[in-house]
Chain A
Amino acid sequence: MTQTRVMKDTLATSPRVVALNGASLVAEAIRQTDPDVVAAYPITPQTILMEAFSQMVADGRVRTELVTVESEHAAMSVLIGACAAGARVQSATSGAGLAFMWELLWCASGMRLPIVMHLVSRSLSAPLNILGDHSDVMGARDTGWVQLFAEDGQEAYDNALQAVRIAEHPEVLLPVMSAQDGFSISHSVERAEVLPDELVRSFIGTYAPAHSLLDIERPATFGANDDRQFFALHKRQQYEAMERALGVVSAVGQEYGDLTGRSYGLLEAYRLKDAELAVVLMGSAAGAARAAVDKLRAARVPAGLLKLRLYRPFPAAAVAQALAGKRAVAALDRSAIFGAQGGALFLDVCSALATHGAAPRMLSYVYGLGGRDTVPSHVEQVFRDLEAVAREEPALPAQRFLGLD
């Protein structure tokens, strides 16, 4: 009792330092943003997130209507209906749950609904595997959702709050998927700072959509059908909104930094400026990569790291600029594209570099599938391969599997 009172007194002014796992931190972010409607369906590793949030609902700590649907497809259906009705809405899912929603991910973005979804990423069957990788997120990379990646629980929490602002920005009006790696982030307890509720409330502001199904006096039709004359025009508008999201993600990340001291851009470079060899990746493996870079730098290997925070829209210009002049670059994907010349991130990095006139030697690695550990020595191996190709040694196979080759 005393403890909670003390906490309440300090809440308004300073952040709370907590030791929580990524799932609980995002549950806390959902509580603080207090959505009007949340709909979700259980799937590992998302379960602990929704269990924590359900308890918050049961304890009356939010004003949210929680809809415990019969499937993820229904969760997204409920959110689309509720969002079109003017409600602020969120969900959370993983792996097969996101795959089951796939049809509706396109509906949500095509209808320009600012839905926020927290993803605790997981592999896709078969074989069945409940552990973390990015197959689910990458399966949704072309669905028109803004996609944010987190390196740890703190970033997952910070992204969750910023997602609301990005989605609802009038220049954007697109759904946002905020991903954290299953288990390695969601179930790992870390030190993190949680903002005061009041600060979150003022940061996200109130939601006032221009059109709503519940605006009875001004009846509007949502989800009309387009013939060949209009469909492509609407899709181009959607593409342009996605491009505008680049600037909005930066601006919101900056504003968030001014409030909290933790600024966010589109990407994060680590010892990259004077590096000749670079690794590009997203998510929790950045920690292992940083350790590898430090070790190699100590041995005078010119290694550097580029961690992407925003994957869709792809920050091509920023990536090309960060990698300009590098001799060799490896992209590390935590999912595979069967039959392609590399993973999704690899292909995006290649096209960014090619269209911006840079031509380093490129290598593609798939790592961490189905929860497989990625440790600093794996990333060191990548840098040694980069050294070799930078010396024009014989080309390596187009697609390498980190730790398996």
Chain B
Amino acid sequence: MPLNLRELSAKEDLLAPGHRLCAGCTESIVVRQVLLAIQEPVVVACATGCLEIGTSPFPFTSWRVPWIHVAFENAAAVISGVETAQRSLVRQGKLPDRPVRFLAFGGDGATYDIGLQWLSGALERGHHFTYICLNNEAYMNTGIQRSSATPRGGWTTTSPVGKVIPGKREPRKDITAIMAAHNIPYVAQATPHGWKDLMTKVRKAVAVDGPSFINVLSPCTRGWRHELDEGIELSKLAVDTCIWPLFEVESGVWKLSHRPSRKKPILEWIKSQGRFSHLLRPENQHLVEELQVEVDHDWEKLLRRCDAGGPL
């Protein structure tokens, strides 16, 4: 099936409406795009977090595909067990051999922090599954606490803005590069506004023979302090300011997916969300400048990695 809106709109949504995610949440948008992109049957494992809580309140479920949740940190290990069961049962002739795609969803807390060991182990073992990080840059389900994905300077309830400390002091962990360093066949970054880019990446990810990882920036109206209808625009702004570049790493080869025609200043990003409002105070001016230096440095590093000398 080609990736065009006419074909896609005719396909059944595998995440049913009526779930309990917040109005304006982009996690469900990402999940629906992911499920629409995949053409084979899928089994999903979900880490504890907003998506899990919002879609599985007993006796209801939003999932029209087989789905499992066990705990916060171990979705990658759980899906590796499901995938192993499939391999074992098919090899023994106990199940018919047909292509099934195995997916795990985890928030940034589940992925960058508490679940990193389980994810790393599952990648190293080479299970055939795709891990998708729904990165809203904090622990949102438990009330907007900082994670190692929270950007420097960001306000959260555990990195609050106080009289002496202006929000989170540490920079983000570069988890996508850490995933790429596992030398798995496919790693990418994406956003929900670039639906075609995201869905193409999902198709590539599930097609490779081995583990794959996609880090999807997922704006959160509650945590980022923006209007309900701004999530998609913000995900575009993240790409245009180069704070969230779109790229993929296919068999170790880094490739930029999109180069903004004009790189927007980080100040536009900061101005767009309440979690950064304190950075606009005069005494925090230097923090904005430092953030710009950081973004520029990371962007240059990425360009070097992608060896993107010519036009893309």
Contacts and interface: CB of A to CB of B under 8 A. Distances in A.
A78 interface: yes
B52 A214 contact: no
A225 B53 contact: yes
Contacts of A104: 70-71, 74
B157 interface: no
A224 B45 contact: no
A87 B89 CA distance: 7
Given A77-B71, A224-B57, 12 more contacts: A37-B81, A65-B85, A69-B125, A81-B79, A104-B71, A213-B82, A221-B63, A222-B66, A222-B67, A223-B68, A225-B69, A230-B59
B241 to A, nearest CB: 36
Q: State the 10 A-B residue pairs at the shortest beta-carbon distance, nearest first.
A: A81-B81, A70-B121, A77-B77, A78-B81, A85-B85, A87-B85, A223-B69, A221-B61, A77-B74, A81-B78
B277 interface: no
Contact of B68 (A84, A89, A227): A84
Interface in A61-107: 63-65, 67-71, 73-74, 77-87, 89, 103-104, 107
Interface string A137-155: 0000000000000000000
A220 B58 CA distance: 12
A226 interface: yes
B211 to A, nearest CB: 14
Contacts of B69: 222-225
Contact of B78 (A68, A80, A216, A220): A80
B70 A82 contact: no
B88 interface: yes
A63 B91 contact: yes
Contacts, number: 162
Contact of A67 (B66, B80, B91, B100): B80
Contact of B82 (A70, A214, A220): A214
B71 A81 contact: no
A235 to B, nearest CB: 13
B41 A216 contact: yes
A103 B74 CA distance: 11
A68 B84 CA distance: 12
Contacts of B94: 36
A86 B71 CA distance: 19
B306 interface: no
Contact of B88 (A65, A77, A79): A65
A36 B88 contact: yes
Contacts of A213: 43, 66-68, 82, 85
Interface core residue of B53, B58, B59, B81 (most chain A CB under 10 Å): B81
Contact of A219 (B56, B58, B63, B71): B63
A386 B52 CA distance: 56
A226 B47 CA distance: 16
A39 interface: yes
Interface in A217-266: 219-227, 230
A219 B84 contact: no
A215 interface: yes
Interface in B79-117: 79-82, 84-89, 91-92, 94-95, 100, 117
Contacts of A74: 74, 77, 117-118, 121-122
Contact of B87 (A65, A80, A83, A103): A65
Contacts of A71: 117-118, 121
B58 A67 contact: no
A36 B89 contact: yes
B121 A107 contact: no
Contacts of B95: 86, 214
A169 B246 CA distance: 51
B67 A221 contact: yes
B176 interface: no
Nearest to A75: B77
Interface string B27-51: 0000000000000010101000000
B233 interface: no
B145 interface: no
Given A81-B79, A213-B43, A224-B58, A73 B74 contact: yes
Contacts of B125: 67-69
Contacts of B117: 70-71, 74
Contacts of A84: 68, 82
B29 to A, nearest CB: 21
A74 B121 CA distance: 8
Given A74-B121, A77-B118, A81-B77, A219 B66 contact: yes
A9 to B, nearest CB: 26
Contacts of A216: 41, 43, 66, 100
Nearest to B79: A81
A103 B61 CA distance: 24
B65 interface: yes
Nearest to B98: A216
Interface string B146-185: 0000000000000000000000000000000000000000
Interface core residue of B53, B60, B69 (most chain A CB under 10 Å): B69
Interface core residue of B41, B45, B58, B73 (most chain A CB under 10 Å): B58
Contact of B85 (A77, A82, A107): A82
23 contacts: A37-B85, A39-B81, A65-B91, A70-B118, A73-B77, A74-B74, A77-B70, A81-B45, A81-B70, A84-B82, A87-B85, A104-B70, A104-B74, A214-B66, A221-B56, A221-B68, A223-B69, A223-B70, A224-B57, A224-B58, A224-B61, A225-B69, A227-B58
B124 interface: yes
Contacts of B272: none
Contacts of B77: 69, 73-74, 77-78, 81
Given A78-B77, A224-B58, A225-B58, A36 B71 contact: no
